[in-house]
Amino acid sequence: MLAPGESSAELLLRHGMQRVPSQRLELFIKRGFLSTEECAVLIDLIEAERRPSTIANHNGDHLFRTSETCDLHHDHPAVAALDRKFAEISGIDPAYGERLQGQRYEEGQEFKAHTDYFEPEHADYQTYCAVSGQRTWTFMVYLNTVDAGGATRFKVIDKIVQPERGKLLAWNNRRPDGSLNAATLHHAMKVRKGRKYVITRWYRERPWG
């Protein structure tokens, strides 16, 4: 039995995800998770309602995350459908997920190397983690194939994932023993040509709320 808020390598493999070979990090990829039509509807939603992206552990670098963000509303049928697909593939109850969030990157925009978990020593740790706990797994889907640039680079394990329409990426932010895994460090590299759209689902240790 999996703890709530947790996925597992075994489950993801059973659901057709492929593991990126690495001893240091549980990272999985699945092509064709979303269809062209599903991606198109979700891109329209991001276009309709975007705002500048923010970061939790601010480090004073105003160019650290230059993309735009869109909070997706679960009452929209396309968002509800995506929510169900994430639940199905991850095995995680949607109640443990943060709200689905879209990102749009223009040419030259990026999200510099970061981890998705919250730094326990950071002053705002309690603000972000008191209710729902730490982030557990990240599931992220690329909604389009970018003309140039925009790859997600996991530099500790030297893996670069190219954005490709409908491709799903998932990783465990912690090691199997539950400790935070610094090898999850990743960089959404600058888009060089065209735009990039992604949607991310971050799961927590406890129900979101």
Q: By CB under 6 A, name the binding residues for ligand AKG.
A: 103, 111, 116, 152, 186, 188, 198, 200
Q: Which is nearer to ligand AKG, 10 or 147 (CB)?
A: 147
CB of 1 to ligand AKG, least distance (A): 29
Using Cβ positions, the residue closest to ligand AKG within the complex turns out to be: 188
Q: Using CB distances below 5 to 8 A depending on partner kind, what does residue 79 bind out of ligand AKG, Fe ion, none?
A: none
- Got the DSSP string for 95-112? GGBPPPEEEEE-BT--EE
d(CA 82, CA 26): 23
CB of 5 to ligand AKG, least distance (A): 18
CB of 188 to ligand AKG, least distance (A): 3
CB of 124 to ligand AKG, least distance (A): 16
Which positions touch Fe ion (CB under 5 A)? Answer: 116
CB of 111 to Fe ion, least distance (A): 6
Backbone angles phi, psi at 182, to 5 degrees: -65, -15
Alpha helices (H) in 52-162, listed in sequence order: 77-90, 125-129
Q: Using CB distances below 5 to 8 A depending on partner kind, what does residue 198 bind out of ligand AKG, Fe ion, none?
A: ligand AKG
CB of 39 to ligand AKG, least distance (A): 15
CA pseudo-torsion sign 6, 201, 160, 129: negative
Q: Which residues of 108-117 are buried (b: 16+ CB within 10 A; e: fewer)?
A: ebbbbebbbb
Residues found in the chain: 209
Q: Which is nearer to ligand AKG, 5 or 163 (CB)?
A: 163
d(CA 181, CA 14): 24
Secondary structure E strands in the chain: 18-19, 27-30, 51-52, 68-71, 101-105, 111-114, 135-142, 148-149, 152-154, 159-161, 168-172, 186-188, 191-193, 196-204
Q: Using CB distances below 5 to 8 A depending on partner kind, what does residue 152 bind out of Fe ion, ligand AKG, none?
A: ligand AKG
Q: Which is nearer to ligand AKG, 89 or 191 (CB)?
A: 191
Q: Which is nearer to ligand AKG, 89 or 151 (CB)?
A: 151
Using Cβ positions, the residue closest to Fe ion within the complex turns out to be: 116
